[in-house]
Amino acid sequence: MDKAPDLLSTINFPSDLRKLKESDLKQVCDELRQFIIDLVSEKGGHFGGSLGVVELTVALHYIFNTPYDQLVWDTGHQAYGHKILTGRRDVFYTNRVYKGISGFPNRKESEYDTFGVGHTSTSISAALGMATASHYKGENDRQHIAVIGDGAMTAGLAFEGLNNAGISKSNILVVLNDNCMSIDPNVGALRAYLTDMTISPGYNKMKDEVWKLLGKISKFGPNAQDIASKIENAVKTSLLHQSNLFESLNFRYFGPVDGHDVTRLAHILKELKNIPGPKILHTLTMKGKGYKFSEGGDQTLWHSPGTFDKNTGELIKGENKGPQPPKYQDVFGHTMVELAEKNSKIMGITPAMPSGCSLNIMMKAMPDRAFDVGIAEQHAVTFSAGLATQGLIPYCNIYSTFMQRAYDQVIHDVAIQNIKVVFCLDRGGVAGSDGPTHHGNYDLAFFRCVPNMIVSAPMDELELRNLMYTAQLEKVVSPISIRYPRGNGVVIDWKQPFKEIEIGKGRKIKEGKDVAIVTIGHPGNFAVTACKALAEEGIDAAHYDLRFVKPIDTAMLHEVFTKFDKVITVEDGCLMGGMGSAVLEFMADNNYSAKVVRLGIPDKVVEHGTQMELYKECGYSPDDITDTVRGLMGKKKKSVSSLFISL
């Protein structure tokens, strides 16, 4: 039998897809899924989510007139197929690579990316805004579709959007991509509710019959459909022994349907185009669908597995170079268990990132003292505050970028009341290939202005352990943040006895006489490297590790400005309002005069790349530090970081 001609290579845009016969869609899905497997296995990236929505992606672009019809993907982990079908197939090998295309929908990249995403639960609100604008402009034929996962549906913002959309007459379709997963398995009452709807045999039999009825009577006009819909809703309520949550919010509910039957999905979406008002289509999918190793394996692992052998499913690990320093997140996870074994008051909280932040280690060891509260950062903070009012010591681990979503709760529910919550901020600073929505650039700045907050950043794994230990001591009575970066530390022998760190007290890493380098957090290790290189050139640089940006070590800064007229600050955070700004404020307030150069993240959106590529782009890599010192000392710069270009 002759092999069927390749179809994916003929699809440059969705308009090409819409020229195909419906019978071709299954082949398109097979080719699209294989394309994703081929590329991600070699280049890495988000895997399971995109495989899970291949059929849904093809059906949406086949039925709807994108980009005129507005398609909004929630979060964006699952949008690889969308990108490949919308003009980026031939450059997809640059996905998440420095200067390449983004791993998430990005408005600057394509008109098909209607809304930039990366954080969860924004799609319904964005699509409703677009639908309302279309109604105002008289574009009544324009469709607006939000694709959101069951994990993202648990966040408050999703319900705010649903609540608002339900009272509008806007033409919006919410596609609920239900796969029981976000990055880790989903939790909470909504998960149980959706499962009840999915597995009810009576309801599913009725649902199939109603779909057939709708198809038969739709030719008689909207009144007949309204009657059928009311009958369906009444039966749903009876069979599920409860009212339908979504229809209680004035959404027309359809489903659940098989999210991997592309032909049926196309038929259903075509029907829904002709039904006005807010609608929700509940699709059932499997993360990693179509690749046997992800279907039968650990779905958390296959969310973003790195590179792997596509034929065997074996993950490709880096060359074994002997013992390596651990990841900061794993130091956090193991240290939590150690501390909790010594102090029965310690509790662990994370909003849907137990594996990402390694709280899963404590959840396994002490399931009654570690909580995954779902994609709910605001709730995580206030829940932690509630625990603290009862004498417990909550360690609330939230990625720095996601802490932005709970800023009001930090101020209103924690800081104003001076409630002791320990905020462990993972992924502080540039986070690498996930790009601007995931960089943790702002926490040093936005926390140091909050009354009662202690703001710290460890330079290495030992410092992280000791700050975590210090935070639970009775003498610490205020909220404290401990931020650390993504990736590995620098200390192999990290599991050493705990030592208390005096709050607000920095440390001198190296004496010097020519210039002072003041750092906070992990970039202090860049300064160590720079100091060694400078010493070989006869430049004697002193190095100070502040540890705390609030309260700041005033005694140390008095020493710095008394001894040095050339000072460099280095931080893995935004320059505006960050540690360097705090040092300048101290200098001005105390009438010192010195040449101060601040290195850190400039006032711009930093795109994706490896962390070192981004350190160089932002100008605070080890080479940049040495170059800055050379410049201050009147010597010629040697490095080329400012001209760095990635392949």
What would the pLDDT profile of 527-555 be if each residue is shown by its tens digit?
999 999 999 999 999 999 999 999 999 99
**CATH architecture for the domain at 8-292:** 3-Layer(aba) Sandwich (3.40)
pLDDT (average), residues 33-37: 97
| Per-residue model confidence as pLDDT tens digits over 106-152 | 999 999 999 999 999 999 999 999 999 999 999 999 999 999 998 89
Whether 25 has a pLDDT exceeding 90, the answer reads: yes
Cβ proximity of 597 and 628 under 8 Å: yes
Phi first, then psi: give them for residue 424, nearest 5 degrees: -105, 110
Among candidate residues 31, 232, 377, 607, the one labeled active-site is: 377
Q: Known catalytic residue: 377?
A: yes
pLDDT (average), residues 49-58: 96
| Per-residue model confidence as pLDDT tens digits over 438-484 | 999 999 999 999 999 999 999 999 999 999 999 999 999 999 999 99
Could you give the residue range(s) of every CATH 3.40.50.970 domain in the chain? 8-292, 328-483
pLDDT (average), residues 562-584: 98
Whether 159 has a pLDDT exceeding 60, the answer reads: yes
Calpha distance 526→430 (Å, rounded) = 15
Whether 225 has a pLDDT exceeding 60, the answer reads: no
Whether 216 has a pLDDT exceeding 90, the answer reads: no
| Per-residue model confidence as pLDDT tens digits over 594-622 | 999 999 999 999 999 999 999 999 999 99
| Per-residue model confidence as pLDDT tens digits over 255-285 | 889 999 999 999 999 999 989 899 999 999 9
Could you give the residue range(s) of every CATH 3.40.50.920 domain in the chain? 507-639
Alpha helices (H) along 179-327 = 189-199, 201-217, 222-240, 245-248, 262-272, 292-295
What is the reported pLDDT for 645? 28
Q: Which residues contact 305 (CB under 8 A, 6 or more apart)?
A: 44, 47, 294, 315
Residue 256 preceded by cis peptide, ω within 30? yes
Q: What's the one-letter identity of residue 199?
A: I
Calpha distance 348→148 (Å, rounded) = 28
Cβ proximity of 541 and 515 under 8 Å: yes
Whether 342 has a pLDDT exceeding 80, the answer reads: yes
Whether 201 has a pLDDT exceeding 60, the answer reads: no
2 Rama class: left (phi>0) / alpha (psi -120 to 50) / beta: beta
**Among positive and negative, which fits the CA dihedral 481, 484, 486, 488?**
negative
What is the reported pLDDT for 255? 84
Q: Which residues contact 389 (CB under 8 A, 6 or more apart)?
A: 419
CB atoms within 10 A of CB 306: 15
What is the reported pLDDT for 297? 84
Whether 349 has a pLDDT exceeding 90, the answer reads: yes
Calpha distance 240→219 (Å, rounded) = 29
**Residue 640 CB burial class (10 angstroms; 0-12, 13-18, ≥19):** exposed
CB atoms within 10 A of CB 615: 24
- 79's tokens: 């949008």
For the chain, the average pLDDT equals: 90
> What is the end-to-end Cα distance of the chain in Å, rounded?
42
Matching residue, tokens 């409860």: 242
Helix, strand, coil share of the chain (percent; to 5) = 45, 15, 40
Whether 226 has a pLDDT exceeding 80, the answer reads: no
Q: Which residues contact 518 (CB under 8 A, 6 or more apart)?
A: 544, 546, 557, 560, 567, 568, 569, 570, 579, 583
Among candidate residues 33, 89, 96, 287, the one labeled active-site is: 287
Cβ proximity of 611 and 328 under 8 Å: no
Calpha distance 28→562 (Å, rounded) = 70
Calpha distance 317→306 (Å, rounded) = 9
Q: What percent of the chain has pLDDT over 70?
A: 88
Q: Right CATH number for 328-483 from 2.60.120.10, 3.40.50.1820, 1.10.760.10, 3.40.50.970?
A: 3.40.50.970
Among candidate residues 405, 420, 465, 486, the one labeled active-site is: 405
When pLDDT is cut at 50, 70 and 90, the band that residue 639 belongs to is low
Higher pLDDT, 490 or 168: 490
Report the b/e string of 84-106 with b at 16+ CB within 10 A.
bbbbbbeebeebbbbebbbbbbb
Cα angle: 608, vertex 613, 617; to 5 degrees: 90
Whether 585 has a pLDDT exceeding 90, the answer reads: yes
When pLDDT is cut at 50, 70 and 90, the band that residue 203 belongs to is very low
Q: Known catalytic residue: 33?
A: no
When pLDDT is cut at 50, 70 and 90, the band that residue 170 belongs to is confident
Query: How distant, in Å, are the alpha carbons of 68, 453, 559, 582, 583 from that of 554?
Result: 58, 17, 9, 11, 9
pLDDT (average), residues 228-256: 66
**Among positive and negative, which fits the CA dihedral 194, 120, 418, 425?**
positive
Q: Right CATH number for 507-639 from 2.60.120.620, 3.40.50.920, 3.30.70.890, 3.40.50.720?
A: 3.40.50.920
pLDDT (average), residues 493-499: 96
Matching residue, tokens 């010597």: 635
Q: What's the one-letter identity of residue 30?
A: D
When pLDDT is cut at 50, 70 and 90, the band that residue 168 belongs to is confident
Q: Known catalytic residue: 289?
A: no
- 384's tokens: 């932690």
Report the b/e string of 207-219 with b at 16+ CB within 10 A.
beebbebbeeeee
